[in-house]
Structures are given as C-alpha cells and as structure tokens.
A = this chain, B = another copy of it.
C-alpha cells in the first residue's frame, strides 16, 4: 500500500539512530540535529536570525510584510530540536499560508522545564502585538511537542486576556504528558518514529515535578473553549493519534471550531518530508487554505 516515497521515509525513521532521551542528552540532541540536517531546504528561502524580546527566532519572508505572521514552534519532545533544524518545514507552511514566518527557539528542558517554553511563546506574541501586528493577522503552528506547545500557548493567551490569534495549526501534536492514549499501545507496531518509553523520559524532563496532567503542560486536560479555529493533522500510523482525537473531542465539545484530518498510513510529522512525499505537500497546502480562509485579507 505505502508508496515508494513513504517506504523510504519509514525505512529512514526505523534505521536512523533516533534520539535516545534516556541516555546522554547532549548526544541525543546532536543525533536529532544531524537527522534534521539531512532534510533539504528549498533554495528560495532566506533566513535571518532575530529575536523577540530576548527569545531567539529565525525569520523568513514567506509572505508580504502586511499579510501577517506565522509563529512556528518546532518539535523535539521539549528537550531537543531547533528553529534551524525545522526552518524548511516552517517556511513551507508560511509560504502556503502567505504569511511571514517566525520560527522560535523557545527554551528547552531539562535546563528550562515547564513552563519556560510557554513563557517564551507569550513573550514573542506580546512583542508581535506591540509592534502593531493585528492579532487577526497571526497564526500559531507547531509539530509534535511544538503542536502541544501551540495549543498550550493559545490557552495561556486566552487566560491572560490577550487578544487571540486568528488560527492554530497542529501537526501530529503531543499534548498529553501522561502518555496514556490508547493508541500508545495500538499503534506501537506501526509507528516508526516514536515510542511510549522515550516520550515518558522526555515528559519527565519537561515536567520536572509538575503533574503530568497539568492543563498547560498537557492541554488535552485544559478547558479548550474560546480558542481560535484549530486545524489538527495526524497520521494513522502514530502512537500520538490519540492526542489529536482528544484535542478534537475536547475543543469541539467546548465550542471551539476544530478540523481534524487523519491521513492514512502517514507517520509522525510527515509534512517535514514534503520535498519527497506527495502527502506531505498536500497536507501543507490544505493547511495553507485553512489558514488563508481564517486570516483573510489581501495576500
């Protein structure tokens, strides 16, 4: 069933010495960065280092300045990954949405555990607002840990009484630090990227003593009412499928507009392989249409 391209992606995930967060963390981070560095970035994008009130970011002019901003939050289980490693995916999404891309380097655990990452997103968001950017011209997106972080940040923005951004886009979000979804077991055999034990180690480093069901650490336990429209994309071959189902159930029941897309056979954050995988670019294009419809205006 799986296309040649998908088989290649899966084989790469299975053979790659994926990061082992239970071992030497610096080594795991290097392994992950090395893996990310193998992903080609389309040549047309130029990236500039900048910062939002001290929070480092990569900027890419993927849309006209007046169109609006995409805040992108990378994956890496809250303990690894970087804007640099995910710059190609972030810019691909920004371009599809017609927005300027800002990929944040939020602080990582264990040096900076929960809620440091959320605090950094809020700082960046406030700086954008203070710069005159209209909230209805801002979208927040992220993959994996960055997807859960996107959702937690939206909850925090609501709780702080700040004006809400126009939309959220969550790619294979990790939004439950208890790692207790039924799909942790039912999808274990078909998920080439993640396993429950590894996630639990990373969750422990991120939580650093905070309860795993804290609603900002694990936003599937948060009140998800009053949030902007959410697009959630997840593959059917993911142990994290359950996190996306829980987000759709919780946000939907709470009266937040949510669009959940489950993509057959797809694996964790398959959109990062858009350069070789048709479904990757199709998913990003669908997200681009979703975001353009919510952000409106001339772009």
Which of A47-55, A126-134, A153-161, A246-254 contacts the other chain?
Answer: A246-254
* Minimal beta-carbon separation of A126 from chain B (angstroms): 27
Name the CB-closest residue of B to A264: B255
Is the contact region of chain A dominated by helix, strand, or loop, or is it mixed?
mixed
Size band of the interface chain A makes with B: 20 to 34
CB neighbours (8 Å) of A253 from chain B are 183, 186-187, 236, 241, 262
In the complex, A245 has a CB within 8 A of chain B: yes
Q: From residue 180 to 213 of chain A, which have CB atoms closer than 8 A to chain B?
A: 183, 186-187
Quick check: A257 and B263 within 8 Å, CB to CB?
yes
* Minimal beta-carbon separation of A94 from chain B (angstroms): 23
CB neighbours (8 Å) of A263 from chain B are 257
CB neighbours (8 Å) of A255 from chain B are 236-237, 264-265
Q: How many copies does the complex hold?
A: 2
* Minimal beta-carbon separation of A230 from chain B (angstroms): 9
Q: Which of B183, B234, B245, B264 contacts A256 (CB 8 A)?
A: B264
Quick check: B259 and A252 within 8 Å, CB to CB?
no
* Minimal beta-carbon separation of A192 from chain B (angstroms): 15
In the complex, A171 has a CB within 8 A of chain B: no
In the complex, A261 has a CB within 8 A of chain B: yes
Quick check: B245 and A249 within 8 Å, CB to CB?
yes
CB neighbours (8 Å) of A254 from chain B are 236
Name the CB-closest residue of B to A233: B259
Give 13 A-B pairs besides A237-B255, A257-B263 with Cβ atoms closer than 8 angstroms.
Answer: A183-B253, A241-B252, A248-B248, A252-B260, A252-B262, A256-B262, A257-B264, A258-B260, A258-B261, A259-B259, A259-B261, A260-B260, A260-B261
A258 to B261, CA, bound (A): 6
